Amino acid sequence: MIDVLLNVALVLLSVSTLGFVYRVIKGPTTPDRVIALDAIGINLIGITAITCIVLRTQAFLEVILLLGILAFIGTVAFSKFIEKGVIIEDERKS
């Protein structure tokens, strides 16, 4: 019973990830693509968690936190590049 539910959830997450992939390819502006990539990262977290339950293991739980941190840092770096043009400033202006 729980396995069927987990597989359904995996399929739904895959469909939503495909939707985000469509937005990454099609997205008219760069911020659209960045947000879609961030959301793909969050979906990957969900897929990893459900795979953990399917495989009945705790070995991948670190991956979840890792993906969250990396998605956050990547999105911040992209946003800073879009806003200011440089990712690492030498000295703050403000």
Partner 1 sequence: MRTNDLILQTITKIVIFIILAFSLHLFFAGHYTPGGGFIGGLMTAAALVLLLLAFDAKTVKKIFPVDFKKVTAVGLLIAVFTGIGSFIFGVPFLTHTYDYFDIPILGETGLATAVLFDIGVYLVVIGVTMTIIQTIGEDE
Binding site for partner 1 (CB under 8 A): 59-60, 62, 65-66, 69-70, 72-73, 76-77, 80, 83-84, 86-94
**What minimum distance in Å lies between the beta carbon of 94 and partner 1?**
5
Mark out the alpha helices in 1-94 (DSSP H runs). 2-26, 30-55, 61-84
Between 18 and 87, CB nearer to partner 1 = 87
Nearest to 54 by CA among 2, 15, 14: 2
**What minimum distance in Å lies between the beta carbon of 57 and partner 1?**
10
